[in-house]
Amino acid sequence: MLLMYIFCSCKNDVNKESVKLETNDIAYASFGDKITISGAISASEMAEQLNDMKIDDTLKTKVVAKINDVCSNKGCWMKLDLGHDQEMMVRFKDYGFFVPLDASGDAIINGKAYVSETSIEELRHYAKDAGKSLDDIEKIKKPQRTFSFEANGVLLKK
């Protein structure tokens, strides 16, 4: 019983805490698995690779991109700007961690990029989470080819 308590307590601490990392005099808050900035590709490089992928293709990678939007309910997803009016939907592996509701600026994410098709129901759910109007939500009438990412670790500039 004591071991179970210790395990659960540690798991919760890891998922909720952000840790400062100092890299090139820039402080980062870390969420999920501990990652570094090393080897991250740009948003435009990620867009090029995703544009060449088919639905259900995957790619393990690390990306740096500007945050466009964050789930306003609990920080359980974010959208990153890939340039040229393209975005990438980022979810967090096993809902094991979340990012701050006010997260902004650049994010560095590590994990798996993939192309999927997002259903009308899911698109409407995300629009609601993002605080869109009922009129905007009802305008969603067709599924969308979506650039997605399952992050196991995230760094946010402090």
Structural domains for the chain? 2-157 (2.40.50)
Give the pLDDT confidence score for residue 26 in this predicted structure. 78
Whole-number pLDDT of residue 9 = 34
pLDDT of residue 90: 98
In 3-state terms, what secondary structure has residue 51? helix
For 132, the token pair is: 């869109």
The 10s digit of each residue's pLDDT in 10-20 is 333 333 333 44
Query: What is residue 24's predicted lDDT score, i.e. its pLDDT?
Result: 56
Q: What is the pTM of this model?
A: 0.74
DSSP 70: E
Radius of gyration of the chain (CA): 16
Tell me the β-bridge partners of 113: 59, 149
Q: In the prediction, which pLDDT does 141 show?
A: 97
Taking 50 as the pLDDT cut, the residues of the chain under it are 1-23
Hey, what are 125's tokens? 């759910």
Which amino acid is located at 65 in the chain?
A
CB 16 within 8 A of CB 139: no
Q: What pLDDT is attached to residue 158?
A: 85
In sequence order, which residues have a C-beta less than 8 Å from that of residue 137 and are 6 or more positions away? 124, 127, 128
| Residue of 95, 107, 90, 113 whose CA lies nearest to 32 | 95
Residue 17 pLDDT: 37
